[in-house]
A and B are shown apart, each in its own frame.
Chain A
């Protein structure tokens, strides 16, 4: 993989809020927990793995109280579990996405300093899985029923997880939007793998675990439910295979 820079960070989605435009730094840490196991008569400390991992995320950026921006997304949410996805290598099918199943927002700090723009920072403690996923449907707008591009990720016998982030939705009379993740063994017929709950308001986000096998090819299908005109949804779909 080539070197990446801040310009390659393509989205930071927290429960559907896209905070990329107000964020200046992300610090994502995954730690394998250990316990010291040094016996007597040893000159060097020893540690054994606990087969337990911990994830944490911190985010620094600018204070912005516009509708749908950082303050609305973060204020009064400390102590709440958030579904977080960020892409650090572009916004194309198959590019990596880091997903947090239930990041617990632990702090939200507004920092006002003389001669500086006011900052807004937040920290999260991973609670549950942190997934190394890939983009299945790039973050962007969809305006009609769509069978998304196919991603060949190889078959996965042990299942995985899928993420949905919806940051904007115009129903135009429709009842909602339905997102289905499909898979296929031969890239010809695609069967439904998992269906997210219909979304009728934005922002919104969901993560679904896939307990069974995932076939080699995957794609996302977007359907507008009911009848209407000129609908639009801005969303991201990502998939992790175990």
Chain B
């Protein structure tokens, strides 16, 4: 059984690449290609495909928060 991915609630609007190869390219210091396709998430959205490499700084900046398995904090922010 596949492990469920950690979900995060978006607290600040953000754009992120969903292509693993593009994330690897950017993480290695590569330049943005002109035709990059980005996902857009707005406050209140819950996503599970944020690039793992960015999670620490997004949490530290207060841009996202983890959604618990039990759904204890699944309610959107007031």
Interface residues of A (CB under 8 A from B): 147, 149-150, 180, 182, 184-192, 195, 215, 221
Contacts and interface: CB of A to CB of B under 8 A. Distances in A.
Contact of A190 (B15, B27, B31, B53): B15
Contact of A147 (B27, B38, B54): B38
B44 interface: no
A208 B13 CA distance: 18
Given A185-B57, A185-B61, A190 B36 contact: no
A191 B51 contact: no
Contact of B26 (A147, A188, A192): A188
A187 B36 CA distance: 13
Contact of B58 (A150, A187, A189): A189
B46 interface: no
Given A188-B27, A188-B51, A149 B14 contact: no
A186 B30 CA distance: 11
B11 to A, nearest CB: 9
Interface string B1-25: 0000000000011111100000100
Contact of B14 (A186, A187, A189, A195): A189
Contacts of A190: 14-16
A95 to B, nearest CB: 18
